[in-house]
Amino acid sequence: MGVVQPLPPNAPSRIGDYTLLAALGRGAMGSVYLARSRGGRPIAVKVARAELADNPQFRERFRREVEMARAVGGFWTATVVDADPDADRPWMATEYIPGPSLQQAVQDHGPLPERAVRRLAGGLAEALVAIHGAGLVHRDLKPSNVLLADDGPRVIDFGIARALEHSALTEAGIVFGTPGYLSPEQVVGHQITTQSDVFALGSVLVYAATGGGPFGEGATSALVYRVVHQEPDLTRVPPGLVPLIVPCLVREPANRPTPARLLEAIGPPSAEPSWLPERVRTMVEQRHTELGNLPAKPPTRVLVDDPPPKPPTLVAPTPAPVPTRTPSPKAAPVRIEPERKEVRPTGVRFKTSRMVGLSWAGANVLAAVVTASIADPAAGAPGAVRLAAFLAFLAFAVAGVRLLVGAARSPLTLDVGPDGITLSNGTESRRLPWYAIARVKVEAHHARPWLMVWLVPAARTPATLGRGSFTQHKGGLRVYPISHERYRKRRDRDVVELRSALAWYGSAAYDPR
């Protein structure tokens, strides 16, 4: 679990029947505390964020996931012992594992020896057998969710990932998961199955054996691109582990081994008394000592409500020149670490206008009425004048009808920001993350310029939101009509500002030609 720290002043003294003793950190779900049961058993209690507690969908998902998580049996998981989905702040209690995370152990003391990695693989595979047998998919298996205990590894936070889906966090455009450990199908939005956890298992084993993930380091956009398009880097993996890891990292989920097949390939564990290297065993012993030195109850404190914690963060793409429309500062790249505070750019927004379309339609209809009156033989105009007026009437009438039809459609809103391109019609929205975009440009087609996007091969084409959005054109997709209903000067200005926003937020995919 996390490093034991004093309780913050705003922490409650009790959660359910458990007395809080110390803080263990914060995660995607909320705060994590070390507590003690009435009988003296150490417990880890996870308390939901305030914004999640106000979401009825989260509560219902949390309730179902807790029920399934309680059914997880077998070794190598932190057992769920209690929960209250109906509390003001929903919470879940699991057994406390007094050991460091795999991430902390590798960061402090370097990669594990081959024997320990093989034992780790067996423990994680057996944990996945139990988790999948209960009807769960972990979805966020990573080094920080693997704890190292005396007798083997433990997997934590199973069941939370599904509960967080479609919460206020993910609806705000935040991807739940950790870049570099997400499977290709998670990156491109395809169906997530138990085999997605097997891909993450392979990535975790690479980290344990080398100290780095199979797809390197860097910004989120770069990592997820490598996951989908590049082969994993296994050059530093010990040769004896390569045959075990390679099948886990196959792109096609159906071709990956099941956790049960992995257990067969790993074979029985070694008979050595301790599976951890000496320096990591010392870390485990320190956690046991910390646990024994904790007081039976925390000191008396004045209780106040928890402030709203910060949701998981994403890394913005590497920026290019600042767009003229957005004065907000650039967000520096950060890792996905809930403890850090970050101000995310708001992005640049463009809208089609129904009122402008109606105004132009009215002007054309008025012009059609005037020219029709001139073309009327009763007006007494010369024949040539009446013919010219009739042709003008046809042109104004057609333009007026087209503008009226366009104005009757739902307006579109385009947002270009650090997470990608989002298009909305007021009732539905479609988001194209930067890692799903191979190329993006503004195509100036006479007086009707379009935002054009070419997706990576694995990405699916979104359904249209009207006004010609997401229609095929020149091998790509027309996404957004840029100010078609506005006068030319305004249209040219919007084109310039949109180009600038694309260069700023999507520099890796932007085609300025």
| Cα→Cα distances 210→76, 113, 256, Å | 23, 9, 22
* Three-class DSSP category at 46: strand
* Amino acid (one-letter) located at 351: K
- Report the distance separating Cα 386 and Cα 377, nearest Å: 8
Contact (Cβ atoms closer than 8 angstroms) between residue 458 and residue 228:
yes
Tokens for 291?
Answer: 């646990």
* Three-class DSSP category at 488: helix
Place of tokens 């009226």: 404
Surface-to-core class of residue 74, CB atoms within 10 Å of its CB (0-12 exposed, 13-18 middle, 19+ buried): middle
Residue 163 neighbours by CB distance under 10 Å: 27
Give which of 60, 66, 64, 61 is closest to 46, Cα–Cα.
66
Report the sign of the C-alpha dihedral through residues 77, 78, 82, 88, in that order.
negative
Tokens for 224?
Answer: 């997820």
Sequential DSSP letters for 366-420: HHHHHHHHHHSGGG---HHHHHHHHHHHHHHHHHHHHHHHHHHSPP-EEEEETTE
- Report the distance separating Cα 184 and Cα 465, nearest Å: 27
Active site residue: 84, 140, 151, 305, which one?
A: 140
| Cα→Cα distances 264→125, 200, 386, 435, Å | 10, 19, 90, 36
305 is an active site residue: no
Residues 6+ apart with CB under 8 A from 388: none
Residue 475 neighbours by CB distance under 10 Å: 8
- Report the distance separating Cα 49 and Cα 295, nearest Å: 27
- Report the distance separating Cα 440 and Cα 453, nearest Å: 4
Give which of 118, 144, 145 is closest to 131, Cα–Cα.
145
Q: Look up residue 150 and give its DSSP letter.
A: T
Surface-to-core class of residue 101, CB atoms within 10 Å of its CB (0-12 exposed, 13-18 middle, 19+ buried): buried
Give which of 99, 90, 102 is closest to 203, Cα–Cα.
102
Catalytic residues: 140
